[in-house]
Copies of this chain bind each other. A is one copy, B any other.
Amino acid sequence: MQKYSKQTRLLLAVDCIVFGFDGEALKILLIKRGFQPEKGNWSLMGGFVQPDESLDQASNRILKELTGLEGVYLEQLHTFGDPQRDPIERTVSVAYFALIDINKYEKQINDDYHAEWFTLKRTPKVIFDQQEMVEMAKKRIRYKAAMHPILFELLPSKFTIPQLQNLYENVFNTSIDKRNFSKRVLATGLLIKLNEKDKAGSKRGAYYYQLNMHNYYSKFQAFMNFIPNPDSISAS
């Protein structure tokens, strides 16, 4: 037996929702689609899965081709398979989401590709069923961040506690008491204090911290769950 005869084959694509945080708001990265249909319209990073690559390989390749990003946090989100989702031909799409340090990659992205960051509240229309993918990714990132330390992926390797708090407040659309926040985040043992200050945010300056990578991996599974009144934490 060589093939499963009588079965219909179809196209398989990968779409990536790329999240970044600029200190002000959570953003996603969109590109202008380069081919028909919907050529020139805003789209997630996407492309077809090639015969010799796995889904993870495909998503990493596409992310690199379209943004120059490599080695970033990338996680499979959900697979979208409505028969009518692509008007040209049936295409099932495996959606991934990525979390990146927006500062590290911004220049590279803008120079080499026609990509742009949009705040989640002011996202333009995206093609096909991609709005649904974005909504699901937003839910997933909140859901996961409530228990796992994934949001550090959005910050530079050196960051301050006020920056971290600001990120959490943004993602969960809430405000957190800073005394309680720093107590809890320091209690995880995940942060190493550096003898260096970030002077950009204030006159006094705030100490930089970096992740204790050993504790990071060992504590990844159960980090903390300390969001008082989340806008919504819901399952994907």
* A residues neighboring B (CB under 8 Å): 1-4, 7-12, 36-37, 48-55, 58, 76, 78-83, 88-92, 94, 144, 147-148, 221-222, 225, 232-235
Contacts and interface: CB of A to CB of B under 8 A. Distances in A.
Contacts of A148: 235
Contacts of A49: 10, 81, 92
A11 B29 CA distance: 31
Contacts of A94: 79, 81
Given A7-B11, A221-B234, A1 B76 contact: no
A11 B49 CA distance: 12
| Number of identical monomers bound together in the oligomeric complex | 2
Contacts of A48: 4, 7-8
Nearest to A150: B235
24 contacts: A1-B88, A4-B11, A4-B48, A4-B91, A7-B11, A7-B48, A8-B50, A9-B9, A10-B12, A10-B51, A12-B12, A49-B92, A51-B83, A53-B83, A54-B81, A54-B82, A54-B83, A55-B79, A55-B92, A79-B79, A148-B235, A221-B232, A222-B233, A225-B225
B76 A78 contact: yes
